[in-house]
Homo-oligomer: A and B are copies of this chain.
Amino acid sequence: MTTEQDRGEARCNQVLDAAATCFRQRGFHGASMAELARAAGMSVGHIYHYFENKEAIIAAIVERDVAEILALLDSLHDEEDILQALIREAGNEMEESPCSDEALQVEILAEASRNPKVAVTVHEGDRRARTRLAETIASGRARRGLPPLADLEARTEIIIALFEGLMLRRIRHPKAVDDATIAVLRSTLHTLLET
């Protein structure tokens, strides 16, 4: 039973990985279910055993992304200086520029703009991530003896906007993110988090 469950979950992740790649390369509407199926190594029809339709696949990708972010934020609580860790991680993420994630994120945003079901998933995921980031910042400040922030939520918004905005900049300006930009990013985060 457990084996079967695992198998099903593995198959699901196979689809999500394939879909993330396809959506990145061809867009949500540009990637056909036939392409997803080929990339996932299964038949078109079988994908529908795991996902009700195409929008359910992108919703699942969103949820997986949120879980990853929450895990990253949680891991920061083990660090001595949470705020420093946040600033460090933000820069690292941008530096790595792992696999043109901006292309996938923009597809998610585009679909959320139009598709109410995807919008709900995105809103809820953002609420959870946003709340956790605010908590992480508050913890970090407390641990450092800094006073609580009256505008914690607003600063959190700006930090997320800065981070997502910089990632999406790569679409309009592929060389946007260089060492100098990351230095300014870090200094801006310093102002927002530590003052």
Contact = CB atoms under 8 A, between A and B. Distances in A.
Contacts of A153: 180
Number of copies: 4
How many chain A residues sit at the interface, stated as a range, is 35 or more
B188 A112 contact: no
A158 B162 contact: yes
A46 interface: no
Contact of A191 (B113, B160, B165, B191): B191
Contacts of A174: 123
Given A112-B171, A114-B26, A114-B30, A184 B162 contact: no
Contact of A157 (B102, B158, B173): B173
Contact of A106 (B109, B123, B165, B191): B109
A7 interface: no
Contacts of A30: 29, 114
Contact of A151 (B103, B158, B168, B183): B183
A67 to B, nearest CB: 16
Contacts of A163: 165
Interface string A157-195: 110111111101101111011101101110010011000
Nearest to A127: B173
Contacts of A27: 29, 110, 113-114
A126 interface: yes
Nearest to A107: B110
A58 to B, nearest CB: 13
A157 B169 contact: yes
Given A158-B188, A164-B165, 20 more contacts: A106-B106, A106-B113, A109-B168, A112-B172, A122-B171, A122-B172, A123-B174, A125-B172, A126-B172, A127-B173, A151-B183, A154-B180, A154-B184, A157-B176, A157-B177, A158-B184, A160-B169, A161-B176, A184-B192, A188-B191
